[in-house]
Amino acid sequence: MLSKTATYALRAMGYMASHQADQPILSRVISEKMDIPKNYLSKIMHRLVQAGYLKATRGLNGGFELNVDPSQINLREISEKFMLLDDLEKCFLGNQNCDGQCGLHTSWKPISKQFLAMLETTTINKILR
């Protein structure tokens, strides 16, 4: 249901939350441990720094650190940085002309609402535990 980029971002943030240390974590380590392509992860981490969720330190002892308490960041916040979650509330098949009367729409609507509620009520510190 989530884009690959949003999923990778959640995996990276979950790793950061569960491996908080006294020193920054290298993106290479996150890439290896979370099986995320290094170049792809670099762009994700940069966006998370811009959004204020992470801080980056350059140099010999550089890397990434959480800039916000992980219990204060919900999965929806992170996911929305990488995809439009409003699309999940629209037609399951992506039909722009769907009037909400099809059989799939009536089955999909409660599922999408429950999924979005889970994203809003689950925080980063709950994943990868």
Of 65, 71, 64, which Cα lies nearest the Cα of 126?
A: 71
Q: Which residue is it, tokens 């960041």?
A: 73
Report the alpha-carbon distance of residue 120 to residue 76 in Å, rounded: 5
- 100 torsion bin: left (phi>0), alpha (psi -120 to 50), beta (else): left
Residue 54, pLDDT above cutoff 60: yes
Count of domains in the chain?
Answer: 1
pTM score over 0.75: yes
Token output for 73: 């960041």
Query: For 56-82, what is each residue's pLDDT tens digit?
Result: 999 887 899 999 999 999 999 999 999
C-alpha distances in angstroms, 125 versus 8, 17, 28, 54, 116?
Answer: 16, 6, 21, 14, 18
Confidence at residue 30, expressed as pLDDT on a 0 to 100 scale? 95
Q: 18 by DSSP, 3-state: which?
A: helix
CATH of the domain at 96: 1.10.10.10
Q: Look up the domain containing 66 and give its range.
A: 4-126
